[in-house]
Each structure stands twice: as C-alpha cells, then as structure tokens.
Structure 1
Amino acid sequence: MSIFHGLSAFPITPANEHGVVDTEGVMRLTAHLSVKGVDSIGLLGSTGTYAYLSRTERCRAIRAAVKTTPLIVGIGTLRTDDAQNLARDAAAEGADGLLMAPVSYTPLTQEEAYQHYKAVAEVTSLPLCIYNNPSTTHFSFSRDLLEQLADLPNIAAVKMPAPTEGTVAQELAALRSSPVGKLAIGYSGDWIAAEALLAGSDGWFSVLGGFLPKLAKAMVTAAHESDARAVNQYQQVLEPMWALFREFGSLRVAYAAINLLELSSAQPPRPILPLTSQDRRRVEEALKACTAL
C-alpha cells in the first residue's frame, strides 16, 4: 500500500523566535504520533511552517524525526533548483516520500508548474505527492495539468483541497475515472474529513492528526469499516474545532492546541501571532469535547 494512504498526521515544527528548530521537540512530537499509530507523518507541511525555515533547519528537523512511521517531507520552495536540493536532502535524511506545493511570488502558469514538478521528480527516486493548496499558493491545478503530472515517474499521489463545486464524492469519482486515478488521492481541509473518508478517499492529510492522533485514527478506522454512523458522530463532536480552523486558520489553532495539551510550548513564527487568551479558551473547550470521547 502507498505511504499516501490512511491517516497522515501533520505536526507543527517547534522552533525558537530565530527559526532554529527544537530537535528534541520534533523527536517528542513525532514519537507521540508514531506511538498512536498514524499511518504516516507529514513533516514540514503547511502546519510544519516549512516556508519559514532555512534549508539547514529543515534538514535538522528531518534528522530529528522518528523514523519508525513512514515520513513524508514537504519540499515546497520558490526556486526549482532549491526544491531539487530539498528533495535530495530529504532522501539523504531518511524520508520515505515527498510533498510539494507550487510555491510562487510571481503567479505560475500551468506549463511552469508542470516543468517545476518534472524537474524535481527527475532528481529523486522517492514517491512525490502533489500538494494542491490554492488557498495558500494561489495556484489552481487544471484537470489537464493533474493528468499530465500523473504520467511523470515518481509522482504517486495528490493532496486535494475541498472542491469548489459539487461534493467530494463527485470530484473523487471524476478524478478516478481520468488518468489522475492512477495516483493515490487524498484530501486536506480537516472539516471535510468525514465527507472525504466516507467517499472513499485514499488518504486524509490531517492537521488534527498532528495533535489528536488517536481521535483522527479512530475516524479513519470507522470509515474503512464503513461505519458511517461513527464517522458522523466524530464529525459532530469535532464541529467546534472545525469552526475554529475556518475562523483562525488551522495553523494558529494547532499551535494553541499543542500548547494546551502540553505537547510543546512552541509559538508560531512571526509575523504570525498566537491566539489571544480568550480564543485559546475556545480551543480548550473544543479540546475537552474531543478528549471526552
């Protein structure tokens, strides 16, 4: 089975105010996720604030991560040659797979994105997941582009956001009936997790899994057992958490939750500010509902 199947948990990357990674903190967080049975760990994803870390610090984070669970490492960056180097670094430090978003300052064309992925895929033997994250990158993959990328060696998966039109089930069926269907197709945007899991998505790329891995894993297991009632019960309990994700962005909520759970005392990289004490209390209430399950 592909490493892009099942629950991929995305933790924060604890670091100080100068962007120096807390390697002991990375080890603790990834060990916690591994013990809880996640299917893979998504290190240096958006929740892992990859864009705020230097190449050296990214390497230190990968080196520190526990390798007893498959490790998917984010290699998104502006320049193609830098992304190639990050792919080489990840492989050298023991990663099992790669995740790459089309990061840009000047908006990319479809052809530019294709050439970017092609160039990176050519320098690695690790399976690479396309990170389709238009809310952050402001780049939208056309269906034609996804189909072209699916034919490239080493492109093994795509991480999809919530569909702009129709349901996840409709989009998933359309993707699987196209050349994109040869890829593992997973979804992010945790608030659509229940819909995506019940529609039969291959994977859930989960921020929640980065701090409540036991709950996230239970939700995935229920979906695999076709227990829609249990999945929807989890979804109902998680609704306050999803509301916070939508209001503040999942990154800010993840930092607050991890602090409250005493998994780390790290703060988000500036200029991102931590939640106010009032909003942290809302996160605390949402956590209490989740941990009561």
Structure 2
Amino acid sequence: MFTGLSAFPLTPTDETGVDERAYARLVARLATAGVDSIGALGSTGGYAYLSREERARAARVAVEAAEGTPVLVGIGALRTAQVLALAEDAQKAGAAAVLLAPMTYQPLTDDEVFGLYEDVTRELSVPLCVYDNPRTTHVDFSDELHGRIARLPNVAAIKIPPVPGDPAAARERVAALRALVPDTVSLGVSGDWSAATGLSAGCDVWYSVLGGLFPHAALALTRAARSGDAATAAARSERLEPLWELFRRHGGLRVMSAAAVHLGLASEPNLPRPLRGLAAEDRDRLVAVLDGLDLLSSPAAPEDGDRAARDLEGA
C-alpha cells in the first residue's frame, strides 16, 4: 500500500464534533477515484485537535467509507500511553496501517523519539509509517535516526518533508536516506509542491493534501512521475503553482477547508477552534485559482459519496 498516491482528506469538524456524513462522502470520493491509499487523521485531517473518541469513530467511518481501499490512520499524541491507545483503536477499526508523528511540548532527544517508536512498534499488528513533519511537530529527524527506527519491527514506510527543488539535489537527498534504511521500507514525499520532484527522484509514494479533495489531478501527476515521465509530472506541478503558493502561505489544511466549502462537500465552520478559515480576500483568491485550474474534470459520481453517507446512518 505504500506506493502511488496516498490521499489525505479533511476531517470536517466544528465544536460539536466531526461531521461524519461529510467525512464519509469525502473518503468515498477518493475510493471511487482509485487512489492507492487514504490517509485518515493526518495533519490535513486535524488529528491533534480531536479526542480519542472522535478519532476512533473517524477511523471507523473512514474504513467503512473506503470500501476496501487501504486506510492509513494517524495515531500521534503527546504521551506514549495515548499513542498506544490510539493504535489499538485504529487496528480495531480495520486500519491497514498507522501513521505516527512524534508530537511534543518539551523538546525530544533522539533517544526519546526512538523510544516512542520502539514502544509502539512492539505492540502493533499492522505496518507503521514514520511521519517526519518538522514544520508541525518541531521534531527534526536525522538520517541516522531514521535508519535506527526503520529497523524496528513493523516499520514499513517513512513520510519525508519536501525534497529540494533541484532534481539532482532531490535525487541525492533520496539516495542518502535510502542508503540508511532497509530495502523493505518505502520512502514517500509530502509537501505537495515537491511531489513531482520527489517521485521522479525515487520516492515510492506521494502523501498528498491535494489528493484528499482533487484525486484525479493528483493521480495524473503521480502516474506521470511513476512511469518515468518526469517532464510531464513537472509540467503538471508547475500548472498547479498558484495553488501551491496558497498552501505555502496559509497551510494546506486551511486551503482545503475553504475548497471543500466552495465545492459543497463540507459546511462551515469545519475547523476546530482555535483554527479559523481563510479571510474573505484569500477565499476569493482560492476560488479564482480553482476555477482557473478546472481540477474537477473527472469527478467521482456524487451518488457514491451519498451512498456511503446513507450506509453510515445505519451503522
């Protein structure tokens, strides 16, 4: 499951909880589009803002709505005991794998980060993806630390930050990490604006914010890069630069929140406080960008998402 496109949808949430009907519809759209896996409760899914109960329920909703598409469930939390509980919930929900970022308030040493993964992998019965996201977690992984963690049981993948923009430097970056991890461990790129470069440099999978709402556009880019057509992948990414600029400025979560409202796929508000959506002028800019890009040229059939939502009501 750690190849191709892993699409990470929004988890529509307000102060009353998760909008499970909208969430099921978002996940079902991705399964219908044919993504390779679905990343539930990643950073775009707002995992850190949800209670254990909300996360357990969201994991079940995602697995049910995915209808066989592998679901990767985020289990990051501040304390190891909380992570272990979330891992248990994810496995009970039917997750195909789990995604773990080392959340922290106090700065963590390398030994503390390693110890977290050591404790968690000892208890797992599904594969684990290491989530290296220094912008959000403020934990910096060295390649040597990745190499240590990658040799733990059940570690199957590493989700790395954006690669350098220069293709040669990107290949060097990916090769340097590959030299330190087992061949059985997949390397995946995040930071959507670097996806084409990362995939063409040898990454196995794109962990995609864009894919969570616009899977067909993300699949086209992924397939071009994975087939060796770096030029087409780069051209597709360059066309999306107006959207990447909004991601870099506001964060993918806020941009996807506003885009989901614009498309009628989520109501507003859909972010948990204290998070707030885009300001009016930024929403206008996003709408203009989306209209210009025409990212819904091959949308999933609405009835597929509606069916998943109806099925959820009977769960």
TM-score by length of 2: 0.89
* Number of aligned residue pairs: 290
2:9 counterpart SS class: coil
1:179 counterpart SS class: coil
Q: Determine the structure 2 residue equivalent to 1:28.
A: 25
Q: Determine the structure 2 residue equivalent to 1:5.
A: 3
Q: Aligned-pair distance for 1:143?
A: 1.6
Contact 1:7 1:40 in 2 (8 A): yes
Q: Determine the structure 2 residue equivalent to 1:138.
A: 138
Contact 2:99 2:128 in 1 (8 A): yes
- Post-superposition Cα deviations, 1:13-63, rounded to whole Å, max 9, x if no partner, equal 112223x11211121110001001110000000000000000000011111
> Within 5 Å, which residues of 2 pair with 1:51-66?
51-65=48-62, 66=65
Provide the aligned C-alpha RMSD in A: 1.5
- Post-superposition Cα deviations, 1:204-227, rounded to whole Å, max 9, x if no partner, equal 000000111010001111112222
Q: Distance in 2 between matches of 1:144 and 1:100?
A: 18
| RCO higher in structure (CA 8 A, sep ≥6) | 2
Name the aligned partner's letter for residue 228 of structure 1.
A
More displaced, 210-219 or 20-29?
20-29
2:240 counterpart SS class: helix
Q: Determine the structure 1 residue equivalent to 2:280.
A: 277
More displaced, 151-160 or 193-202?
193-202
Matching residue within 7, 11, 14 for 2:12: 14
- Post-superposition Cα deviations, 1:119-149, rounded to whole Å, max 9, x if no partner, equal 1111111100000000111111112211111
Q: Distance in 2 between matches of 1:106 and 1:50?
A: 19
> What residue ranges of structure 1 are gaps of 5+ in the alignment?
none
Q: Aligned-pair distance for 1:180?
A: 4.9
> What residue ranges of structure 2 are gaps of 5+ in the alignment?
298-315
Structure 1 107/207 Cα, relative in aligned 2: closer, same or farther at 3 Å? Answer: same
Q: Determine the structure 2 residue equivalent to 1:45.
A: 42
Q: Distance in 1 between matches of 2:238 and 2:289?
A: 12
Q: Determine the structure 2 residue equivalent to 1:241.
A: 243
Q: Distance in 2 between matches of 1:73 and 1:56?
A: 14
Q: Aligned-pair distance for 1:4?
A: 1.6
> Within 5 Å, which residues of 2 pair with 1:35-184?
35-65=32-62, 66-67=65-66, 68-163=68-163, 167-184=169-186
1:284 counterpart SS class: helix
2:13 counterpart SS class: coil
Name the aligned partner's letter for residue 291 of structure 1.
D
Matching residue within 255, 260, 270 for 1:258: 260
> Within 5 Å, which residues of 2 pair with 1:174-253?
174-253=176-255
Name the aligned partner's letter for residue 225 of structure 2.
A
1:268 is aligned to 2:243: no
More displaced, 272-281 or 260-269?
260-269
Name the aligned partner's letter for residue 288 of structure 2.
E
Q: Aligned-pair distance for 1:198?
A: 1.3
Q: Aligned-pair distance for 1:282?
A: 1.0
Q: Determine the structure 1 residue equivalent to 2:305.
A: none
TM-score by length of 1: 0.95
Q: Distance in 1 between matches of 2:104 and 2:231?
A: 42
Name the aligned partner's letter for residue 25 of structure 2.
R
Q: Aligned-pair distance for 1:165?
A: 9.8
1:232 counterpart SS class: helix
Q: Distance in 2 between matches of 1:229 and 1:140?
A: 32
